[in-house]
Structure 1
Amino acid sequence: MDDIVLSEYKDLLERKLELETELQELVQGYISKKAIKGNTYCYLQNRVGGKLTSQYLKSEEVDTVTEQIARRKECEAELPKLKTRLSELEQAAGLLGKNISRQLMLLKLSTGMDSLTAEQKKQSASFAGAMNAVEGIPVSEQTARDIVAWQSGNKPFLSIFEATLKRYGFSAEV
């Protein structure tokens, strides 16, 4: 039962990340049409900071923008359903035991780390190093090597996360 919950939870987290990433790339707003001197012009309109903005669309852009707006609506409709199901699985895990709840938490905290760009991984590692320095906790040599391997795409983030937790006496294997 635990494996089924873990598998579904992981799949849903990955799908949620895909949707959120896709939403960042899709246009926002709606298309309005204005007739000026017998010609019809299309504009992409949306609100930015409470202010309505309009962007003229060339005729060859209208179909692409229309498709993106439709896709955005689909993604926005799917996202709440995914979040609800993730919440249901978290509640079920709570009933199944602390171990599976910890495993779900690890998945949730580490999802998306492997899909960061090289620059984002570098910034993440730099920030983590700065936080360790502030806290006065030196990074172990093994963790430092693991982070370099993660940054180069040779090691999954979750494995580093789990190993570090174990090193500090926490156990929650996924």
Structure 2
Amino acid sequence: MFGVPLRCSLLYFALLASGEKISQKFSLGAFREDFKSVEETCQAVGYVKRNCQNVSATHIIAFHVQLKNDVGNLGNNAKVVFETVVLNEGNGYDAKSGIFTTPTSGIYVFDWTAAAPGARHAYTALRVNGIGKAWTNCHYGGNKWMTCSKMVVLKLKKGDKVQIVVHNGPGYLMKKNTSFSGYKL
């Protein structure tokens, strides 16, 4: 969402530094006029496809989900299905399968937290189309519980399938303390 104004601002300052015909008046009005000119140029050459002000919430892709119940004794490669949907803008997450399907191509950020009860472990992985991209190894030998989190940034194509799985079972996960989130930059 912030990429277009930032790129146009950088273009504005690059033009300013290069000595292009941009107003040398240092006023807010002159800056806005010059910025509008640069933004129109960006649009004319196809660098910006639409005006920044026309971006609406329909373009937002974001989700946050949690476990409904504690789960245990999950074997190797078991899918972790997060049934409690807190947010699902863009409708990419399917609570029945536990899979997030990318609605559009782009750069995505994913984060998940696995909470393992005392003397148990939760070794989890984020997979894209069945291929591991990031892992956590959550293990604590005491009587308390432990959380492990991981964040990953990935370039994905429309229709890619993203999910959390147990990569070394048996896995034990605690409800509400175990979550999965993602959004498109």
Q: Which has the higher contact order (CA 8 A, sep 6+)?
A: 2
Name the TM-score class by shorter chain: under 0.3
TM-score computed with the length of structure 2 as normaliser: 0.26
Return the structure number with greater helix share: 1
Instruction: Give the structure-1-normalised TM-score.
Output: 0.27
